[in-house]
């Protein structure tokens, strides 16, 4: 397809697309929309920023218009599940934009905000409901929502939902859905757990795939700065002052780290703010609005909170911390160089992060240009790969995955009266036996594979994050 007009979408939708200046579909849109219009299930492999939302929203809106049925009270016709609040809000905005001439009723169900308004919005039923899994189950358990009449199910960024511990929630939700429905399933990667989930949910799906996760955007100039860890704050401030920054997105591995980076930048005279799972939803919305408008040019975020940030004009992505999952690097730098623009991705790499860098270069099959700013006394501090390589996806010290639960790796000498499980930072920390959901009013795990970050609020749960928990004093 060379134009959106070639899809044969309903006139009200085509008119909205013209108003949004949509002319040429992206590859994922060109492949998905014609199939979805026929009612067939779809498995789509595509990264963030490839146009997935329009790929599933446009055919769904067209099919809703073909059969205008008044939704039943406490029911929805379209259910879209996404991993984070920001992404959910963005998806709903897209549905409302594309359907502005259709008078489509819609609602958002996400954690971090009071549930009363969401309950009221569902009383009369809606046609489109976009939700995070945890809050959706809350509404179902509170008898505020029923799923018996869902005609269209969309799972967006399924691999991220798996990483966040949502897979059991998704299975519970799917079990409540009618068998006769259309399912559109999107993921940036397709590990075995996700493939098994897709197989259990879809009927004879068509498979579409664009932009493999190992591919980085062509217009992004990437470089590595090797430095001592203590030099990172000053180097970041120098980059933001000297580079021609329009908007900069800075990634940290932890929520505590994001707040610390913001304090350092503000002290250096650089206005900045952070979004992560411990921030209230109102704060996150205000900060994102300020970032989009240019009022704030530097946004510091964890990976989970950054899911769904689709802001044009991000000129620079800075990895203050290298990600310990190499695919995450590709997702991060994909936030720049959008819509044909150029972008810059700069990664600050301390000696202890060299194992992460090697994994990234292996994935993207490229040796990234490096600038060495390490002091001579620190050049040999890099740990051996066998000691330094991080655990991946719930795996610790080479042991099989245990659903994100930590194992006790204390040495015999450390066992005894004061025996505790110990996190990577050496502080005694209690950990849940099962992965927790990063949504709504639930706690979130401090997972080894994700450096302790998450995307959920801490309301109503006494859970101590490892960064905020003080070290235990020696007992005599």
Residue 8, pLDDT > 60, answer yes
- What number is the average pLDDT over the span 221-242? 96
171 and 226 housed in the same domain:
no
Dist CA 293 CA 94 (whole Å): 18
227 and 317 housed in the same domain:
yes
Residue 242, pLDDT > 90, answer yes
Report yes or no on 364 lying in a domain.
yes
129-170 pLDDT per residue, tens:
999 999 999 999 999 999 999 999 999 988 888 877 888 999
Q: Of residues 319 and 400, which shows the higher confidence score? A: 319
Q: Of residues 459 and 204, which shows the higher confidence score? A: 204
Kindly report the CATH number assigned to the domain that includes residue 12. 3.40.50.300
192-217 pLDDT per residue, tens:
888 899 999 999 999 998 866 566 66
Q: What percent of the chain clears pLDDT 70, i.e. is strictly above it?
A: 75
Report yes or no on 200 lying in a domain.
yes
Q: What percent of the chain clears pLDDT 90, i.e. is strictly above it?
A: 53
Q: How many separate domains does the chain show?
A: 3
440-444-449 Cα angle (round to 5): 135
435 and 360 housed in the same domain:
no
89-134 pLDDT per residue, tens:
889 999 999 999 999 999 999 998 899 999 999 999 999 999 999 9
328-382 pLDDT per residue, tens:
888 888 888 776 678 999 999 999 999 999 999 998 899 999 999 998 765 544 4
Cβ-count burial of 67 within 10 angstroms (0-12 exposed, 13-18 middle, 19+ buried)?
Answer: exposed
Q: Of residues 450 and 160, which shows the higher confidence score? A: 160
35 and 154 housed in the same domain:
yes
Report yes or no on 282 lying in a domain.
yes
Tell me which residue of 65, 66, 51, 63 sits closest to 4, measured CA to CA: 51
Q: Of residues 15 and 309, which shows the higher confidence score? A: 15
48 and 172 housed in the same domain:
yes
Of the residues 160, 177, 209, which one is the last residue of a structural domain? 209
304 and 424 housed in the same domain:
no
Q: Of residues 243 and 189, which shows the higher confidence score? A: 243
Residue 4, pLDDT > 60, answer yes
Report yes or no on 215 lying in a domain.
no
User: Which of the four pLDDT bands, split at 50, 70 and 90, describes residue 422?
Assistant: very low
pLDDT at 279: 82
Report yes or no on 385 lying in a domain.
no
Residues, the chain, total? 476
pLDDT at 227: 96
- Which residue range(s) make up the domain with 446? 391-409+418-476
User: Buried (b) or exposed (e) across 33-56, using 16+ Cβ within 10 A?
Assistant: bbbbbeebbbbbbbbbbbbbbbbb
280 and 203 housed in the same domain:
no
Report yes or no on 423 lying in a domain.
yes
User: Which of the four pLDDT bands, split at 50, 70 and 90, describes residue 82?
Assistant: very high
Average pLDDT, the chain: 80
The region of weakest confidence among 39-53, 115-129, 447-461 is 447-461
pLDDT at 336: 87
200 and 224 housed in the same domain:
no
Of the residues 209, 228, 246, which one is the last residue of a structural domain? 209
User: Which of the four pLDDT bands, split at 50, 70 and 90, describes residue 430?
Assistant: very low
Dist CA 249 CA 236 (whole Å): 12
Regarding beta strands 248-251 and 316-319, do their DSSP bridges make them parallel or antiparallel, or are they unpaired? parallel
Residue 434, pLDDT > 60, answer no
Q: Of residues 37 and 157, which shows the higher confidence score? A: 37
346 and 433 housed in the same domain:
no
- What number is the average pLDDT over the span 254-280? 92
201 and 226 housed in the same domain:
no
Report yes or no on 214 lying in a domain.
no
Residue 423, pLDDT > 60, answer no
Q: Of residues 60 and 22, which shows the higher confidence score? A: 60
Q: Of residues 416 and 263, which shows the higher confidence score? A: 263
pLDDT at 397: 36
pLDDT at 161: 87
137 and 254 housed in the same domain:
no
**What separation in angstroms does the CA of 289 have from each of 109, 113, 292, 309, 338?**
20, 18, 5, 11, 19
Of the residues 209, 232, 264, which one is the last residue of a structural domain? 209
The region of weakest confidence among 44-58, 252-266, 274-288, 305-319 is 305-319
The region of weakest confidence among 224-228, 319-323, 451-455 is 451-455
Dist CA 165 CA 432 (whole Å): 12
User: Which of the four pLDDT bands, split at 50, 70 and 90, describes residue 420?
Assistant: very low
- What number is the average pLDDT over the span 51-57? 93
Report yes or no on 87 lying in a domain.
yes
pLDDT at 411: 39
pLDDT at 105: 96
pLDDT at 306: 63
244 and 165 housed in the same domain:
no
Dist CA 234 CA 245 (whole Å): 17
Q: Return the bridge partners of 209, or none.
A: 45
| Cβ-contact 156, 78 below 8 angstroms | no
């Amino acid at each position: 397809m060379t134009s959106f007009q070639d899809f044969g979408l309903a006139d009200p939708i085509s008119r909205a697309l013209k108003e949004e200046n949509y002319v040429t579909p992206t590859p994922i849109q060109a492949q998905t929309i014609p199939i979805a219009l026929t009612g067939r299930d779809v498995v789509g492999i595509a990264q963030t920023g490839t146009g997935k939302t329009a790929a599933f929203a446009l055919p769904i809106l067209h099919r809703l218009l073909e059969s205008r049925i008044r939704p039943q009270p406490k029911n929805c016709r379209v259910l879209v599940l996404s991993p984070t609040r920001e992404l959910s809000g963005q998806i709903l905005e897209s549905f409302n934009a594309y359907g502005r001439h259709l008078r489509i009723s819609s609602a958002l169900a996400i954690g971090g905000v009071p549930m009363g308004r969401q309950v009221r919005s569902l009383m009369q039923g809606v046609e489109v409901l976009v939700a995070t899994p945890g809050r959706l189950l809350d509404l179902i358990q509170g008898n505020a929502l029923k799923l018996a009449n869902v005609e269209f199910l969309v799972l967006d960024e399924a691999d991220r939902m798996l990483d966040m511990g949502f897979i059991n929630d998704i299975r519970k939700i799917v079990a409540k859905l009618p068998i006769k429905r259309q399912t559109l399933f999107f993921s940036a990667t397709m590990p075995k757990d996700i493939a098994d989930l897709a197989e259990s949910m879809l009927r004879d799906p068509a498979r579409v795939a664009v932009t493999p996760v190992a591919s980085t955007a062509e217009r992004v100039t990437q470089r590595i700065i090797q430095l001592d860890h203590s030099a990172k704050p000053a180097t970041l401030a120098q980059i933001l002052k000297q580079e021609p920054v329009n908007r900069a997105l800075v990634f940290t591995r932890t929520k505590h780290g994001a707040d610390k980076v913001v304090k350092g930048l503000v002290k250096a005279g650089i206005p900045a703010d952070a979004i992560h799972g411990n921030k209230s939803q109102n704060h996150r919305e205000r900060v994102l609005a300020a970032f989009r408008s240019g009022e704030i040019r530097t946004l510091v975020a964890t990976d989970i909170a950054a899911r769904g940030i689709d802001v044009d004009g991000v000129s620079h992505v800075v990895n203050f911390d290298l990600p310990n999952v190499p695919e995450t690097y590709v997702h991060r730098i994909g936030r720049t160089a959008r819509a044909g623009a150029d972008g810059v991705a700069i990664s600050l790499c301390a000696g202890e992060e060299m194992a992460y860098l090697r994994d990234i270069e292996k994935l993207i099959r490229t040796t990234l240009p490096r600038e060495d700013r390490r002091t001579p006394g620190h050049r040999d501090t890099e740990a051996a790969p066998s000691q330094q390589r991080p655990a991946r996806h719930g795996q610790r010290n080479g042991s099989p995955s245990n659903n994100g639960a930590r194992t006790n790796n204390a040495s015999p000498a450390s066992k005894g009266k004061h025996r505790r499980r110990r996190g990577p930072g050496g502080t005694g920390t209690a950990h849940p036996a099962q992965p927790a959901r990063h949504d709504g009013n639930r706690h979130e795990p401090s997972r080894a594979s994700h450096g302790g970050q998450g995307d959920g609020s801490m309301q109503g749960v006494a859970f101590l994050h490892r960064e905020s928990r003080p070290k235990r004093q020696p007992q005599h």
